[in-house]
């Protein structure tokens, strides 16, 4: 059966990794401006405090891993009060050596390795909206190992670097998402995949996107009444079942159209439409332009 999480990560097309080592000692604190791209961080040793705008502070400890699907403004600091040093990630070149904050000499109180990357998919905002604002994982050594591998590969210039990086980041994302805590009260795709019945519906939609699903049929697959399934799906995932299905179909359609090698009627069939004209109408309404124009624009961008 299809794995929705792997499919979503593959469609996001993570790429262009930038990474750095950072440490802090004594009294220190940095205020990062909103960045908007996905960021990650692993604590190599020690502990520090992370505060996202609008959220309660979180203590990060050795072995912790944090993934921010859309990096907001945040603060990274020690535990003593201090005036925060402002930092705009978009205006500062990626350093080639470890960055030290606070006391310059002596052993650090905390050492971290992190970075950011981009999503190549034009549907990134839609898909990322279904993920939690922050994913904080504790006690999974595999993630720290993956982060180290990403850092080593990003800093090297050997043959096949880009391909290896792309695969490592895909693995890093999948590993982080599948071990992420699922008890967050906010709706998300991860909460949906943690719920056995909603996860079954999600797998059915991903496994057979060309089938003309209805809410009643999906509810029957999960052994629930139509109304109970509809309410549960919307409450846990954050959008209604048919909205999710439409969004997924259009994401798949865009991916197929970007390739430019599949006929329009075949694209329509693969995403559940009986004719190219019906698909074109739905695609234009959802995307804001007809499929042919989208395909030509994608070809120009690739060139």
User: Over the stretch 138-162, which tens digit does the pLDDT of each residue have?
Assistant: 888 888 888 888 878 877 778 887 7
User: Over the stretch 220-276, which tens digit does the pLDDT of each residue have?
Assistant: 999 999 999 999 999 999 999 999 999 999 989 998 998 878 899 999 999 999 999
**Cα–Cα distance, 116 to 137 (Å, whole number):** 17
Contacts of 54 (CB under 8 A, 6+ apart): 72
Most confident region among 51-55, 93-97, 127-131, 186-190 by mean pLDDT: 51-55
Q: Where are the beta strands (DSSP E) in the chain?
A: 14-25, 29-32, 39-52, 58-61, 65-68, 74-77, 85-87, 99-102, 110-119, 135-137
In CATH terms, is domain 4-179 a member of 3.20.20.20?
Answer: no
Average pLDDT over residues 7-23: 83
Of 229, 223, 275, 185, nearest in space to 267 by CA: 275
pLDDT at 66 over 80: yes
Q: Do β-strands 29-32 and 85-87 pair in parallel, antiparallel, or remain unpaired?
A: parallel
**Measured CA angle at 110 (ends 106, 111), to 5 deg:** 95
Cβ pair 68, 133 in contact under 8 A: yes
Residue ranges covered by each domain of the chain: 4-179, 195-302
**Cα–Cα distance, 98 to 95 (Å, whole number):** 7
> 21 - beta bridge partners?
113
- CATH number given to 195-302: 1.10.10.60
**Cα–Cα distance, 242 to 230 (Å, whole number):** 9
């Amino acid at each position: 059966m299809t794995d929705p999480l792997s499919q979503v990560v593959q469609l996001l097309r993570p790429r262009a990794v930038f990474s750095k080592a950072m440490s802090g000692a004594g009294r220190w604190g940095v205020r990062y401006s909103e960045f908007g791209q996905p960021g990650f961080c692993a604590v190599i040793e020690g502990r520090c405090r992370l505060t996202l705008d609008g959220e309660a502070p979180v203590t990060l400890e050795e072995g912790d891993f944090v993934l921010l699907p859309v990096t907001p403004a945040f603060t990274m600091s020690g535990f003593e009060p201090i005036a925060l040093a402002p930092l705009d990630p978009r205006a500062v070149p990626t350093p080639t050596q470890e960055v030290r904050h606070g006391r310059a000499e002596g052993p650090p109180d905390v050492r971290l390795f992190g970075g950011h990357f981009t999503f190549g998919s034009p549907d990134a905002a839609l898909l990322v909206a279904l993920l939690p604002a922050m994913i904080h994982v504790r006690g999974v050594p595999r993630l720290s190992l993956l982060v180290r591998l990403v850092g080593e590969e990003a800093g090297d210039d050997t043959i096949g670097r880009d391909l290896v990086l792309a695969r490592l980041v895909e693995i890093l994302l999948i590993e982080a998402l599948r071990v992420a805590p699922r008890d967050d009260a906010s709706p998300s795709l991860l909460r949906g995949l943690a719920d056995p019945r909603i996860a079954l519906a999600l797998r059915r939609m991903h496994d057979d996107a060309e089938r003309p699903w209805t809410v009643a049929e999906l509810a029957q697959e999960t052994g629930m009444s139509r109304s109970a399934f509809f309410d549960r799906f919307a409450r846990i995932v954050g959008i209604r079942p048919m909205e999710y299905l439409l969004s997924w179909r259009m994401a798949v359609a865009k991916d197929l159209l970007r390739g430019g090698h599949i006929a329009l009627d075949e694209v329509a069939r693969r995403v559940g439409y009986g004719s190219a004209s019906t698909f074109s109408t739905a695609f234009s309404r959802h995307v804001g332009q007809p499929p042919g124009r989208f395909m030509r624009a994608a070809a120009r961008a690739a060139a």
